[in-house]
Amino acid sequence: MSRLLVTGREKLSGEVNVQGAKNSALPIIAASVLTKGENVLFNCPALSDIEASSQILRYLGCNVKRFHTTMLITADGLCRNDIPDVLMRKTRSSIIFLGAVLARTGAVKLSFPGGCELGPRPIDMHLNALIQMGAEIVEKHGVIDCTAPKGLKGTKIALSFPSVGATEDIMIAASTADGTTTIINAACEPEICDLADYLNSCGAKISGAGEGVVVIDGVSSLNGTQHTIIPDRIVAATLMSAAAVTQSKITLKGIVQSHLGTVIPVLEEAGCKIRSSGGNLTISAPQKLSAIRTIRTMPYPGFPTDAQAPLMAVASVAEGTTVFVENIFENRYRHTGELSRMGAKIKTEGKVAVVEGVRSLYGAKVDAPDLRGGAALVIAALSADGVTDIGNSEYLERGYENIELMLGSLGASISKL
């Protein structure tokens, strides 16, 4: 267990590099299972979720090395196709190994994944897609036993919802399947495009990534490659939120502006001035933030659900009332109770949260309920009077690389215990 101590009301200033995207690195790490030779992944963040995936690779027989933000993976020695429960439970993203290991070995046996409890994130779409591709699946006692006795075959798969995880799993499995696979109603997130770029660099034939229909022509084999992970748009949104609540001016280095297409207008509506050029973004916050019109989380290119919690912390100290509508996960408002301990005025009912801005928040002892909820508490603490003691801060280590050092480099008073 770890804690963060944050003393609020400190101005931020300076520049900070945005880390590589966790949600891009994880499926790429899983996809490396299919390759022959060495993979060199640049801009790979040092996170507990990344380490959990590395442990799965090592268990399977792969060679994994890390040098700062560079990860080296060689899967030639893969000798197992089972993943034990203790490793699966460390992260929700572990389910992405399902399609990868099945495609590599013709069989895979694993349990249901762990991670933040954000409500149902059914893996039915993963399983149904693989069944359509020729897999035979038996679920018993929480274990998924999957085989493909005749190999995986390309087919047309229509998703009932543009699930990021299911789209990634299908893309990976289909890369070396026999024939052509077409994903209809595919997720369009930037992380999907990054995975496709990686796989294509390995020799895959994928087109349409980032659009509603993705086509994968199966190839006989994939080779290792060098690839740079895209910057993390949610970390960027969190840092922008930190600047907003502290009335500060900071510069984010190494961002892709188009990935923040729905976040930037929201913060501009709150009164922030934002300009970007050549991969850098500078945000200047006003002395008093304004309330934001209704924020509805939606699949990309809509407002990202992962940015909802940090932006709610911003709305908590804005002048006026902001309404949030969460359309992705059922339990995405678990942070509201902890924000209320700090003086926030938030009412929730079902998918809707109504946030009435207050003049200021105050430090308190709170607990991070999950990854992004923990980020919201950090943002709130930066603007609060006094000291905030944030427990369960290990959640933040799943998605933020040394958040105390990152914010500390900008002038925040934050320490980890």
Residues annotated within a binding site: 22-23, 92, 306, 328
Q: Which of 116, 188, 202, 272 is catalytic?
A: 116
Residue written as token pair 């439970």: 89
Residue 22: half-sphere exposure toward Cβ, Cα within 13 Å? 24
Residues contributing to the annotated binding site for UDP-N-acetyl-alpha-D-glucosamine: 92, 306, 328
Burial of 3: CB neighbours in 10 Å, binned 0-12, 13-18, 19+? middle
Separation between Cα atoms, residue 11 and residue 202, nearest integer Å: 45
Residues contributing to the annotated binding site for phosphoenolpyruvate: 22-23
Q: How many CB atoms lie within 10 A of CB 193?
A: 17
Active site residue 116: yes
Spell out the SS3 assignment of 106-169: CEEEEECCCCCCCCCCCCHHHHHHHHHCCCEEEEECCEEEEECCCCCECCEEECCCCCHHHHHH
Residue written as token pair 């520049």: 15
Separation between Cα atoms, residue 255 and residue 265, nearest integer Å: 16
- On whether the CB atoms of residues 49 and 26 are closer than 8 A, the answer is yes
Exposure class string for 251-285: b at 16+ Cβ within 10 A, else e: bbebbbbebbebbbebbebbbbebebeeeebebbb
- On whether the CB atoms of residues 323 and 351 are closer than 8 A, the answer is no
Q: Which residues are catalytic?
A: 116
